[in-house]
Amino acid sequence: MEELWRLSATELAGLIRCKKVSAREAAKAALARLDSVNPRINAVVDYRPDDVLLQAAAVDAVIARGDEPGLLAGVPVTIKIGADQAGFATTDGMRLQRDHIAELDNPAVGNLRKAGAILLGRTNCPTGSYRWFSSNLIYGETRNPHDASLTPGGSSSGAGAAVAVGIGHIAHGSDIAGSIRYPAYACGVHGLRPSLGRVPHFNPSFGGRSIGGQIGAVSGPLARTINDLRIALAAMSAPSAHDPWYAPVALNGSLRPKRAAMCLNPDRLNPVPEVIAAVADAGRRLRHAGWVVEEIDDTPPMREPADILTQLWLGDGYDDQLETAEREGDPGALACLRGVRDKVYPFDLSAALARRDQLTREWFAFLDKYPVLLMPVSGELPFPDNLDLKDEASFKRVWQAQLPQVAIPLMGLPALTVSTGLARGTPVGVQLVAARFREDLCLAAGEAIEAGARPLAMC
């Protein structure tokens, strides 16, 4: 039992629930793994071993009394530093917020705690969660565990890197424009962006959210198996009165045919050959599992939704965001905001929301015809680290490649990154999209693709 960290969350929770392993043993194994590998990748930037062991003791006490310990009984999980966790600073990678101590849990974090999970540590993100790369002036850089020359993704970079090396069995992340899906892609794990309203998402310490945050931002899990994503979603999606967008919808919807549309080149993305090959191979795996896979030439619009989402995310309050970034002084945050100025300024909220309504209807109709869409996560393999800081052309290249990630949140749809293996020694994967609140369809298709893949070895 020395390598409990290697088990899936599902396996570990089962062992703890039936008293074959204690939560304390699982916590000590997780802390030992963290101490062993974290110095190499800098994924976890804040953790308190004594508190971790106290949480584990509480789970063991519940089990000893014969009470229900929760779906994630004793499973170590990590929490992104952009989410409120009572007693910890919600820095979001910013020196300006190093003393911003949360008094209450973000409801997604609270739901993990209520499900019996052990909150192991806080994972890194880029300053302000602005980039698909990971560095900030308070904690430094997180490194890709497979290849330090590549980005670990962003903004849930620490989450992806941590779960890839076995620091925790599940990682909490958040996603407004790919921040769960891209770290999963870059680090060779799976990541689920739930539907808007599925998982309650709100930081009590910050008060109200911008319109972009209300429409686009969600909390979700990253994990090494699809089934672990499934149980993490069940735990995280418990009801909360703190998020007015939360919707108490069943996790499993009505039966739909096993039918998927496969698009290799959505909205003129022009992916590199390795990405096209990964999507085509995933389509073959789906067919082998009994799915009908229809290759289509294009999806509903993606460039326009991506542009509108960018406006809602970064254009609403742009001047205030830029002023804060200038005070913080982080080169990555400044490059992001200055680089998108022409996309988001001036900002017309009414026009953006009116067009969102039309585009969402078009996507909903498409996903009524095709229960699942299979397409790229990105137009490229994981980027060289900090590529967006190289020059203007490289910045534009990054944003162009991330089109499939940025578009989907505008419509509030769920999307799943499935790691499928390696291409030229680099992690690669695919993206699955389904209708709102049909994460179950994404996960079912994801399991079929996962079954035909060779999982990446933990680094």
Q: Could you tell me which residues come within 8 angstroms of residue 427 by beta carbon, excluding any fewer than 6 positions away?
A: 146, 185, 186, 187, 188, 381, 382, 419, 421, 456
Say what the pLDDT of residue 2 is. 59
422, β-bridge pairs: 427
Helix or strand or coil: residue 421?
strand
Output the CA torsion sign for 217, 178, 406, 260.
Answer: negative
* DSSP 8-state assignment for residue 315: I
Structure tokens at 279: 């999507």
Say what the pLDDT of residue 455 is. 67
Dihedral, CA of residue 386, residue 335, residue 332 and residue 308, to nearest 10? -90
Output the CA torsion sign for 37, 43, 47, 53.
Answer: negative
Active-site positions read: 80, 155, 179
Beta strand 190-193 with 415-423 is antiparallel
Structure tokens at 48: 């308190």
Helix or strand or coil: residue 420?
strand
Query: Rounded to an integer, what distance in angstroms lies between the CA atom of residue 143 and that of residue 236?
Result: 27
First to last CA, the chain: 19
Output the CA torsion sign for 170, 171, 176, 178.
Answer: negative
Indicate the domain borders of the chain. Answer: 4-451
Amino acid at 298: D
Say what the pLDDT of residue 436 is. 98
Give the residue among 115, 139, 119, 133 at the shortest CA–CA distance from 27: 119
Say what the pLDDT of residue 208 is. 85
Give the residue among 168, 249, 180 at the shortest CA–CA distance from 221: 180
Say what the pLDDT of residue 453 is. 73
Helix orientation angle between 439-451 and 273-288, rounded to the nearest 10 degrees: 100
**pLDDT per residue as tens, the chain (459 positions):** 559 999 999 999 999 999 999 999 999 999 999 999 999 999 999 999 999 999 999 999 999 999 999 999 999 999 999 999 999 999 999 999 999 999 999 999 999 999 999 999 999 999 999 999 999 999 999 999 999 999 999 999 999 999 999 999 999 999 999 999 999 999 999 999 999 999 999 999 998 888 999 999 999 999 999 999 999 999 999 999 989 899 999 999 999 999 999 999 999 999 999 999 999 999 999 999 999 999 999 999 999 999 999 999 999 899 999 999 999 999 999 999 999 999 998 889 999 999 999 999 999 999 999 999 999 999 999 999 999 999 999 999 999 999 999 999 999 999 999 999 999 999 999 999 999 999 999 999 999 999 977 667 676
Query: Rounded to an integer, what distance in angstroms lies between the CA atom of residue 177 and that of residue 407?
Result: 8
Helix or strand or coil: residue 91?
coil
Give the residue among 242, 191, 243 at the shortest CA–CA distance from 220: 191
Query: Rounded to an integer, what distance in angstroms lies between the CA atom of residue 133 and that of residue 382?
Result: 10
Dihedral, CA of residue 6, residue 12, residue 16 and residue 22, to nearest 10? 20
Residue whose pair of structure tokens reads 């972009």 in the numeric block: 212
With contact defined as beta carbons under 8 Å apart, do 317 and 325 qualify?
A: no
Which helix (H) or strand (E) segment holds residue 76: the answer is strand 76-80
Structure tokens at 177: 């424009």
Output the CA torsion sign for 103, 153, 210, 321.
Answer: positive
- Give me the helices (H) in 412-454, please: 439-451
Dihedral, CA of residue 36, residue 151, residue 134 and residue 320, to nearest 10? -170
Output the CA torsion sign for 34, 36, 39, 43.
Answer: negative
Cis status of the peptide bond prior to 155, with omega within 30 of 0: yes
Say what the pLDDT of residue 456 is. 74
With contact defined as beta carbons under 8 Å apart, do 150 and 144 qualify?
A: yes
> Domain 4-451 is classified in which CATH homologous superfamily?
Amidase signature (AS) domain (3.90.1300.10)
Q: Could you tell me which residues come within 8 angstroms of residue 354 by beta carbon, excluding any fewer than 6 positions away?
A: none
With contact defined as beta carbons under 8 Å apart, do 374 and 260 qualify?
A: yes
Output the CA torsion sign for 397, 272, 279, 8.
Answer: negative
With contact defined as beta carbons under 8 Å apart, do 82 and 89 qualify?
A: no
* DSSP 8-state assignment for residue 89: B
Helix orientation angle between 318-328 and 331-339, rounded to the nearest 10 degrees: 160
192, β-bridge pairs: 416
Query: Rounded to an integer, what distance in angstroms lies between the CA atom of residue 239 and that of residue 229?
Result: 18
